[in-house]
Amino acid sequence: MTHYDVVIVGGAMSGATLALALEEMNQGTLSIAVIEAMEPDLEQHPGYDSRSIALSNGTSQLLQDIDLWSDIESFSTSINHIHVSDRHHMGLTELTSKELNVDALGYVVELADVGHFYYKKLVNSHHIDLLCPASIVDIKRELSLSIVTLSTGSVISTSLIVAADGAESKTCKCMNIESENDDFQQVAIIANVTTAIHPQGKAFERFTDNGPLALLPMSKGRSSLVWCVSPEESQQILAYNDEAFLDHLQHAFGWRLGQFIKTGKRAHYPLWLRRQKQHISHRFVAIGNAAQTLHPIAGQGFNLGIRDVFSLADGITQANQLNRDIGEYCVLSDYQKRRQTDQQKTIKMTAGLVSIFANSAFPMVIGRNISLCAVDTFRSFLKPLTLRAMGRVNR
């Protein structure tokens, strides 16, 4: 039975980043396995319908620390300008990288590109075993290790299991860890769209009667759309043909990028705030979306997860350098204490923005427009929110 110091369940961006961070920080002194259920098709071009995520300025700095950013930057699109507005109302503010004296406020990457990049990095690593395609069938925890049975029939042991397998983590369920779920009563519509005016590094967050609408700049003049609407409206939007969909989107967004002229395939998913009641347990820790899944407003969820990744990598590395058992509870407890403040503040900020900007009640509409105007006039109001949005916070 092969033994690994760390077994990471989930080989998407959070899990893969943790594996590569541990390899870099520990210089090959840790044995690492990444269990991933889906094997990417490396022959398939990312294409027009790829989903995208926004990486904060702070996330890019963390990735740079482990020599990953230069490669990822080569297929990213910079966000240099963010335009925030409230549909049919006067509230408006803008933010630029020049004003904050940074190279970019953030970066947009297509998940297919990132997936192919990480897959190749993991496959070519000398200290990481990528077990793919495979999934966990059973976990037995003993005092000094855990025994993991895989769908392939293999049985491995480990000092520490890390759940990085997404919002509805099967690993957390296997550990009998309960989650708290709050339904936002919204559905996110996802698509890549092309407009007559090239976005040129400009991102938009527009608040509508039903919820926020975000456009992020992408390569080839495209924009990544995340449109949060009511469940009822989502059914109507998904039933539209492309022409009707673009007309409906045009009405909601306006003409700041000219006419919407093309759309890729639309996807959708319900929006919940999900939090595991425990992020750590005996020889176990949950990170990223497996630990908490946020509303996409302000693009905080993934970047919060990356801060989880690097804080955990720091804690494991320190324990390893001191020849401590990296899976013992006090190591994981130190990690949890370190992360609680950032997690709580980011969740509170995101949920607060949803309650304010996805609410059509007249007092809320007046209040948020006054706030947007005040922020646009008194720029110092922006600093605390901007630093958190950019991922420049203590972790």
pLDDT tens by residue, 162-201: 999 999 999 999 999 999 999 999 999 999 999 999 999 9
Residues 82-97 have pLDDT tens digits of: 998 876 555 567 888 8
Asked if 115 and 10 touch (Cβ cutoff 8 Å), the reply is no
- Summarize the confidence of residues 272-285 as an average pLDDT: 95
Burial of 265 (0-12, 13-18, 19+ CB in 10 A): exposed
Say what the pLDDT of residue 212 is: 87
* Region 293-313 average pLDDT: 91
Mean pLDDT of 79-83: 92
Biggest distance spanned by C-alpha atoms of the chain: 65
Q: Are 228 and 109 in contact (CB under 8 A)?
A: no
Q: What is the pLDDT of residues 84-132, one digit of tens each?
A: 887 655 556 788 888 888 899 999 999 888 989 999 999 999 999 999 9
* Cα distances (Å, whole numbers) of residue 250 to 193, 243, 298, 332, 371: 11, 11, 21, 49, 26
Per-residue model confidence (pLDDT) at position 30: 97
Q: Are 354 and 295 in contact (CB under 8 A)?
A: yes
Fold category of 2-46+111-180+272-355 in CATH: FAD/NAD(P)-binding domain (3.50.50)
Query: 172: which 2 tokens?
Result: 């957390």
Share of the chain above pLDDT 70, in %: 87
Cα–Cα distance for residue pair 375/119, rounded to 1 Å: 42
pLDDT value of residue 157: 98
pLDDT confidence of residue 386: 67
Burial level of 129, CB count in 10 A (0-12/13-18/19+)? middle
Q: Where are the beta strands (DSSP E) in the chain?
A: 2-9, 32-35, 52-56, 77-79, 81-86, 92-96, 106-110, 128-131, 136-141, 146-150, 155-163, 179-195, 202-207, 212-217, 222-229, 260-263, 267-276, 280-281, 284-286, 292-293
The predicted pLDDT at position 367 comes to 47
Mean pLDDT of 285-293: 95
pLDDT per position as a tens digit, 210-235: 778 999 999 989 999 999 999 999 99
CB of 145 closer than 8 Å to CB of 283: yes
* pLDDT tens-digit readout, 34-71: 999 987 665 444 445 568 999 999 999 999 999 999 99
pTM: 0.90
Tell me what pLDDT residue 327 has: 96
Contact between 107 and 60 (Cβ < 8 Å): yes
Rounded to whole angstroms, the Cα distance separating 213 from 233 reads: 14
Contact between 208 and 365 under an 8 Å Cβ cutoff? The reply is no
Q: Bigger pLDDT: 299 or 228?
A: 228
Lowest mean pLDDT among 247-251, 344-348, 383-387: 383-387
CA-to-CA distance for 62 and 58, rounded, in angstroms?
A: 6
pLDDT number for residue 311: 97
Q: Quick check: 261 and 226 in contact, CB under 8 A? A: no
DSSP secondary structure code for residue 89 in this structure: S
Query: In the prediction, which pLDDT does 383 show?
Result: 53
CA atoms of 36 and 358, how far apart (whole Å): 36
pLDDT score recorded for residue 130: 97
Q: Which amino acid, 268? A: H
Mean pLDDT of the chain: 88
The pLDDT, as a whole number, for residue 245 is 97
